[in-house]
Structure 1
Amino acid sequence: MEAAREEEYFYKLEREQVKKMRLDLEHKLEAKKESNQPLTEEEELTLKHLRELASINKGNRP
């Protein structure tokens, strides 16, 4: 039972870290876009996918 709790703890910790990294990257790309610096095609796609992931995580479908 202890192993299951540890696994759940680390799973939640990992999810929180991934969420923080996603938000940090999204904010960085949005700040670049708002400062009138053009985003590369890859950055545009990344931003689009990050927004879709955020929408899915909130229970909405794109």
Structure 2
Amino acid sequence: MNEQHLRFLEDYVAACVRETSPFNSAIASRLPAWIKSGKNREGLLRALAKLRARLPENMPPKA
């Protein structure tokens, strides 16, 4: 997982209102239901924070 993916997941999970896309036309539409569920928000954000802490500080940006 890179920083860009992690940022997407953090933003998606933290959002109170999420846009929907039909027929798997967006990345978020392919996420598992347990990630999309609001009841898992706090735990997921804690887990994502732990992953962020494991990212290298000076990781070069990927193209």
Larger-Rg structure: 1
Q: Which has the higher helix share?
A: 1
Q: Which has the higher contact order (CA 8 A, sep 6+)?
A: 2
Q: TM-score, normalised by structure 1?
A: 0.36
TM-score w.r.t. length of structure 2: 0.36
